[in-house]
Amino acid sequence: MQFRDLKTQYHHLKKDIDAAIGSVLDNANFISGAPVTELEEQLAQYVGVKHCETCGNGTDALSLVLMAWGIGPGDAVFVPDFTFFASGEVVAHQGATPVFVDVDEDSFNMDSKRLEEAIQAVLAEGQLTPKVIIAVDLFGLPADYPKIQAIADKYGLKVLEDGAQGFGGAINGKRACSFGDAATTSFFPAKPLGCYGDGGAVFTDDSDLAALINSCKIHGKGSFKYDNVRIGVNSRLDTLQAAILQVKLRAFSDNELQAVNDAAAQYTRKLSGVVKTPVIPEGFLSSWAQYTITLSSASQRDRLQAALKEQGIPTMIYYPKPMHEQTAFKDTPFIKGSCPVTEQLCGRVLALPMHPYLTEGAIGAVASEIKKQI
């Protein structure tokens, strides 16, 4: 059994993907070919925003937004304590200070009450200026943007949606990557919408921001390629990846998003009452980057993971360490004890095999092995 079966997906889409790759090779327009602009239009339309700027990866996408907003030393950026390293790394990379905020134990996403407390603590201390909230759509579930946006408005902060895992999710029909002032996603192969290498994108309704990001991602270009008006980076999605993503986006919206939701529903039916299953709030839709169960202790989690491995069932621990415990953040100010939920979750979560081509038989086998072990 595969944790995320990219081979089976390729097998299903092979004809179209091979044709798309073949056409890029024939045209030999490997950078900024027509499929890149076409994909950007398709992605913006799918998400429901005015602008999509593709780039080299999901980490660069976050950095480009912070760069365009001029975030730097002395600025506080609020980031969930329970997320992939990049969500906080980009803040420190700009010279700003990440302030880690605890998450909600049911949604795994930033807890809006803890967020407001963290903003007030930074203001009371008077050392840093609160600027941005990076909310993460962890495991495919959009963060609680209605609540987060209200807090951002109250304190005059910008909201950046890290939708690296969230593409395809929604809140009351409004799609992920359309929340906040800007949003980003990643096309890393194992993400909900993945390419065959690295890739990422920024989404926004703000035309000035989109233009600035377009400049920043191409060496700070001005009116033409050899007119450079600011210090930028080189971060582009190449034409091959764009052509592959055009095929994958069709499959994603035609059936894969529905398929992962069906798979998740089957897991939940079989596992509820046995272990804590993921909670999807009313009106929310997940794109199931992960299906994460919560065990009652670290020892139970570790025993279960070992037993499943013995049966050939792969599982993953996302994430084994809170952000504030990462060595790279050892000099980042952190109020001890302010993220107890994240500390608990890191010891107890376990992600099960999840992808659009998971069979009912496989889900049944995973569930019955878990029932046997608990």
Ligand X SMILES: *Cc1c(COP(=O)(O)O)cnc(C)c1O
| Torsion, CA 322, CA 328, CA 330, CA 336, rounded to 10 | -20
CB of 198 to ligand X, least distance (A): 6
Point out which residues bind ligand X (CB under 6 A). Answer: 57-59, 83-84, 86-87, 136, 162, 164-165, 186, 188, 198, 200
CB of 297 to ligand X, least distance (A): 26
CB of 59 to ligand X, least distance (A): 3
Closer residue to ligand X, CB minimum distance, 184 or 261? 184
H/E element, 33 = none
* Residue/partner pairs of 9-12 with CB below 8 Å, 24 or more apart: 9/251, 9/256, 9/355, 9/356, 9/357, 12/251, 12/357
Overall residue count recorded for the chain in this entry: 374
The three-point CA angle 147-194-265 to 5° equals 60
Q: Are 64 and 211 in contact (CB under 8 A)?
A: no
CB of 134 to ligand X, least distance (A): 9
Question: Exactly one of 113, 147, 154, 191 is catalytic; which is it?
Answer: 191
Distance in angstroms (rounded) separating the CA atoms of residues 311 and 74: 51
- Residue 346 contacts by C-beta under 8 Å, 6 or more apart in sequence? 82, 319, 320, 321, 322
Q: Are 217 and 232 in contact (CB under 8 A)?
A: yes
CB of 86 to ligand X, least distance (A): 4
Distance in angstroms (rounded) separating the CA atoms of residues 80 and 50: 27
Give catalytic status of residue 221 as yes or no.
no
Q: Are 289 and 316 in contact (CB under 8 A)?
A: no
Distance in angstroms (rounded) separating the CA atoms of residues 3 and 250: 23
Tell me the catalytic residues: 191
